[in-house]
Amino acid sequence: MMLHPQKITSTLKRDLIVLSGRAYHAAEWSETVLRFYHRVKSVLRGVDRERLGKLHDWVMAPLTIWPLEMRDLLHEALTQAEVHQTLSEHQRLVIDLLPPPPDAATCEIVAQHEHQVQSGTYGNVIDSAAKYAQQEDALQADPEFQAQWARIKAAFDVTAYAESKGVIRRTLSTERNLRPVWPNRLPEPESAFRTVFDVFCMNWNLYGMQHDQPLLLKLAVNLTPYATMIVIPAYWSFDPKRDIRWSEIAKLHRARVPARQGSTLKEGKALRRKLALKLVKLDAEAAKRGLRGDMKHVFLCEGLGWVPETSAKRLRRLRIEFKK
């Protein structure tokens, strides 16, 4: 059982200040359950109180990496605790299986990423905005696109499928292309609209529509609770060296990785240490023999069991790594 005790005393005021800087109106959506938490948390003692604290810390984590709807989970646990003075066995099991919430540094990195995703700007990880702009201009000027959208509006009341900001989203893609439900298997009349709209979006590489404006797919990098996903639109002429800032993606991904890991890493370092000790002796022998330049390089490589074509940089790195 892994619990995550709070390291900083939490108050409702502090929680709302933290969430006020987050994307997706986090403070607004979480305020009710946070008020409930700060009112009820004193009811429990011991391990169950720690469990509530763990759920609270997950609510305070960025939405992007929630594995479940954490506000609902916390609200259900608080309701149970308030009435029964204890959590149910099912609630305890779910909370105990949850990994520890991310630390403050990880939350900060992910929270910044959320603002970029919410605004649809990926400038920190994507270099080639020109490709998107070029495709978008061509799309909006295409008479066939306009004609198809006009046909869809004539056949359906599209406003019935739009969100408050006028956005209609196509069926979203999922990991490994698994489909929770096919759009043409939905109940009518939604099935008819979703079938038409999804085909329309695929034809024009769209995420959806906002009123009469196409929402063209972007080259995007997104965190999920389980992975870091890179989406390259079907129309995109991809250049891995110029289009993506891999160092920024690595920084984003590593925010949740505690450290470099694995037995291979440990074994590799031990082997390099042995080679470094051997290199010290080889350097001394080369000096004794008066070897210089290429002759010295070949001597050292042969002594280490490396091919003579090995870069001299590899030898320098080995010396530097174990200099002490």
Do 289 and 249 lie in one domain? The reply is: no
Do 214 and 273 lie in one domain? The reply is: no
- The per-residue pLDDT for range 232-255, each reduced to its tens digit, is 999 999 998 888 888 889 888 988
- The per-residue pLDDT for range 189-241, each reduced to its tens digit, is 899 999 999 999 999 999 999 999 999 998 988 899 999 999 999 999 999 88
In the chain, how many domains are there? 3
| Residue 184, pLDDT score | 87
| Residue 75, pLDDT score | 96
Residue numbers of the domain that contains 203: 118-254
Q: How far apart are CA 227 and CA 252, in angstroms?
A: 11
Average pLDDT over residues 16-23: 94
Q: Is residue 170 part of a domain?
A: yes
Do 151 and 37 lie in one domain? The reply is: no
| Residue 264, pLDDT score | 47
Q: Is residue 111 part of a domain?
A: no
Q: How far apart are CA 279 and CA 265, in angstroms?
A: 21
Q: Is residue 182 part of a domain?
A: yes
- The per-residue pLDDT for range 150-177, each reduced to its tens digit, is 999 999 999 999 999 999 999 988 888 8
Do 175 and 245 lie in one domain? The reply is: yes
Single pTM value for the model:
0.71
**Which of 254, 274, 294 is at the close of a domain?**
254
- The per-residue pLDDT for range 79-105, each reduced to its tens digit, is 999 888 899 999 999 999 999 998 888
Do 159 and 194 lie in one domain? The reply is: yes
Q: Is residue 109 part of a domain?
A: no
Short-list 118, 129, 47, 130, CA closest to 89: 47
Do 85 and 128 lie in one domain? The reply is: no
Amino acid letter, 10: S
**Which of 254, 288, 304 is at the close of a domain?**
254
**Which of 35, 67, 102 is at the close of a domain?**
102
Q: What contacts 24+ positions apart, CB below 8 Å, involve 108-113?
A: 109/251, 109/252, 109/255, 110/61, 110/62, 110/64, 110/65, 110/223, 110/255, 111/21, 111/22, 111/23, 111/62, 113/62, 113/64, 113/223, 113/252
Q: How far apart are CA 90 and CA 73, in angstroms?
A: 11
Taking the alpha carbons at both ends of the chain, their separation in whole angstroms is: 41
Do 129 and 248 lie in one domain? The reply is: yes
